[in-house]
Amino acid sequence: VCSMGNSTSRLYSVLAKTLSSGAVSQHQDCLEQLDAARLDPIDPKHLLEECQIVLQKRPPRFQRNFVNLKKNTASNHRPIRVMQWNILAQALGEGKDNFVQCPMEALKWEERKCLILEEILAYKPDILCLQEVDHYFDTFEPLLSRLGYQCTFFPKPWSPCLDVERNNGPDGCALFFLKDRFELINSSNIRLTAMKLKTNQVAIAQTLKCSETGRLFCIAVTHLKARTGWERFRSAQGCDLLQNLKSITQGAKIPLIICGDFNAEPTEEVYREFSNSSLNLNSAYKLLSPDGQSEPPYTTWKIRPSGECRHTLDYIWYSQHALNVNSALGLLTEEQIGPNRLPSFNYPSDHLSLVCDFSFNQDPDRLL
């Protein structure tokens, strides 16, 4: 740990704190220890400086630019920035995923967590949707709550992280929103079913009220079943999630944003189900393509023993009748990613973060 002087040492003591074991019984101990600290707000600029000091021996973070997608429609409120990201569970990155071109040194949690935080702090999302979160209790909840976010976590019932020695507990989905911008109206933790059977995949759906406009909307985060051969399973999970969201949004009367790692290319049935849903959803990142109809060429790019994997699996869906996409964060180029692909010393996950700025349609009563 580098010396940071008196002005930053107290903050860094929280940043550096990690659980020594994944035992669930220790999570409460950690939260109790951090109770007093959590009440003390953090200046995001100071936390970013802390991260940059920890990362000073690593290459600088990649520069990505927002693409303006706003049509000539005036908005009477600040845009709502939504960030979607599979951050790569620490236990899986170190113990299971076997990224053959990524040095183990690049995966050290003490530094990798700072890369993750740096990415979040750089884009300043109003709403943050994460998958593969296995350091919720010791890192993301205590830090992000002090940055003004309300935090929710729903772990997988049988997380593969628990199979890894010296794990930090189960991974799951996490949802964070800024309390000064939104009021929580309703929250649902959904364990997805497939063929009437409960599965190991989950979702969180929350109905929020925008403080500035008074408008309601629903934000959901999910992570569907991985691997080739499970296409029908993912399709069933997607149908179950859509049914839940139809009920929560009263059949799309409440606008909807769904973030997730769907583990499905646009050619899969589950993608078509979301595209053709009665909820009138569109995929925000299609708008970056010249014709507005094509998904990005990749949102994850890695090299495993079986070979190189480049896929489009991550999406931000939205109610296109009620919401406008003002801008979207461009993806990393192949040159930026480099020949060893992801993760790397430059980038902490094998999935790219997606970030969009949304505004409410000025005609909220417009029919679907």
CATH number of 219's domain: 3.60.10.10
Spatial separation of the C-alpha atoms in residues 232 and 82, rounded to whole Å: 29
Q: Which of 245, 230, 209 is nearest to 313 (CA)?
A: 230
Burial 258-287 (b: 16+ CB within 10 A, else e): bbbbbbbebebebbebbeebebbbbbbbbb
Q: Given the structure tokens 């709403």, which residue do they identify? A: 127
Residue 68 included in any domain: no
Q: How many CB atoms within 10 Å of residue 78?
A: 13
Residue 44 included in any domain: no
- Which amino acid, one-letter code, is at 329? L
Spatial separation of the C-alpha atoms in residues 147 and 296, rounded to whole Å: 32
Residue 13 included in any domain: no
Q: Which of 171, 176, 172, 238 is nearest to 206 (CA)?
A: 176
pLDDT at 41: 92
pLDDT at 75: 75
Task: Give 210's contacts (C-beta < 8 A, 6+ positions apart).
Answer: 77, 80, 181, 182, 216, 217, 360
Q: Which of 129, 133, 136, 226 is nearest to 171 (CA)?
A: 133
The SS3 of residue 57 is coil
The SS3 of residue 112 is helix
pLDDT at 73: 65
The SS3 of residue 100 is coil
- How many domains in the chain? 1
Residue 248 included in any domain: yes
Residue 3 included in any domain: no
Residue 11 included in any domain: no
Which two structure tokens, joined as six digits, stand for 150?
Answer: 């309300």
Q: Which of 56, 51, 39, 38 is nearest to 8 (CA)?
A: 51
pLDDT at 77: 87
Task: Give 293's contacts (C-beta < 8 A, 6+ positions apart).
Answer: 286
Residue 244 included in any domain: yes
Instruction: Give me the average pLDDT of each 10-residue run along the chain (368 residues).
Output: 39 51 43 55 95 94 92 80 98 90 95 97 98 97 97 97 94 98 98 95 98 97 97 98 98 96 98 97 97 96 94 98 97 96 96 98 60
- Which amino acid, one-letter code, is at 325? V
Query: Structural domain of residue 336, as residue ranges?
Result: 78-361
Could you write out the DSSP letters of every residue in 264-326? --TTSHHHHHHHT-TT-EEEGGGGGSTTS----S-SEEEEETTEEEEE--EEEEEETTTEEEE
Spatial separation of the C-alpha atoms in residues 93 and 99, rounded to whole Å: 8
Residue 55 included in any domain: no
Spatial separation of the C-alpha atoms in residues 263 and 368, rounded to whole Å: 28
